[in-house]
Amino acid sequence: MLKEYARFAADKTFELLAIDSPTGFTKAAAEWVAGEFTSLGYEAKITNKGGVIVNVGVPDGDGLLLEAHVDTLGAMVAEIKGNGRLRVTSLGGMRAENAETENVRVYTREGKIIEGTLQLCNASVHVNGSYADTKRSFDTTEVLLDEDVNSEDEARALGIEVGDVVAFDPRSRLTPSGYIKSRFLDDKLSVGILHDVIVVL
């Protein structure tokens, strides 16, 4: 029984981790949280600021507030370059050194999701003599889209605009020994734990 519960808890955490939710782009994650608690029979309300309040019931007016957040680190399109690649800027403190070679998803205003990879500008270690010495920042890295684009106009034709949200792949997995590995466990794991505690109440 304990193993089944642990697997259920992990599965629910993975569901939330799979929902891209960089700072300022949390609507889908908030709706998931509200829907999960509603399905358990609790009243869940999404606030004007995008938070989710769930009252699980307390006797005699005594209560305890538990809080966690679903927003994660991410990026935003800062420039569409002449070659169709994207310069991005951080959302929530994401660091280029921690994101190089990561798969990303660009969310357009039209609702399209376009995949790509954040990489060093001039990313060939065989050609770029300064590869190892280049300081990684969002000015020395760029998003290469997984699309046949070679110009700014071609990138814009996909619907990409400055200000679009860029989400990084969380790479979530459960190891054979039972450990959860993922980006953005801060703080989606806490949300998952709160959900799972309510399940056993």
Expressed as residue numbers, the domain containing 188 is 2-70+184-199
How far is CA 168 from its chain centroid?
6
In this structure, are 65 and 78 located in the same domain?
Answer: no
In this structure, are 98 and 60 located in the same domain?
Answer: no
pLDDT reported for residue 166? 98
Asked if residues 30 and 49 have their Cβ atoms less than 8 Å apart, the reply is: no
3-state secondary structure of 135: coil
pLDDT reported for residue 55? 86
Question: How would you classify the pairing of strands 165-168 and 141-145?
Answer: unpaired
pLDDT reported for residue 134? 95
In this structure, are 145 and 62 located in the same domain?
Answer: no
pLDDT reported for residue 7? 82
pTM here is 0.92
Q: The CATH number of the domain where 93 resides is what?
A: 2.40.30.40
In this structure, are 164 and 81 located in the same domain?
Answer: yes
| List of the chain residues with pLDDT < 70 | 1, 58-61, 201
pLDDT reported for residue 114? 98
pLDDT reported for residue 6? 78
